[in-house]
Structure 1
């Protein structure tokens, strides 16, 4: 993995974390926490969606959408763990 792909993953994760924090109001962790959740959510989406048969396709917008969905799933799971 080169520097440019790592930078792109961090940028996509940051955008996804910000979007997921806006979508899941009240479950965010602040700006830095949401960026971390977005990066982890992007990684989670990269593992889950191909296993389910969904392809991310090429492009920035589709990557952001899938990473945002992964971050929302992660925020939901963290919310469940915090309650229990």
Structure 2
């Protein structure tokens, strides 16, 4: 019994730290306004380009107006 308790830590020490890191533990990458270094900001092309590059999230600049419609933040005169 005592030998078994001694061997358990040795068995677990052979596992590398990379084995403990799962896919959910890695940093998340967000593309603000898409891939705006190549495509125009807040466009479908920039969002598709960012997804192709492997980003986890896409952040876009939209606000709701009084009619609860999404509008681009840059086109609204009071938000600039």
**TM band (smaller chain):** under 0.3
Give the structure-2-normalised TM-score.
0.23
RCO (CA 8 Å, sep 6+): is it higher in 1 or 2? 1
- Identify the structure with the greater strand proportion: 2
Greater Rg over alpha carbons, structure: 2
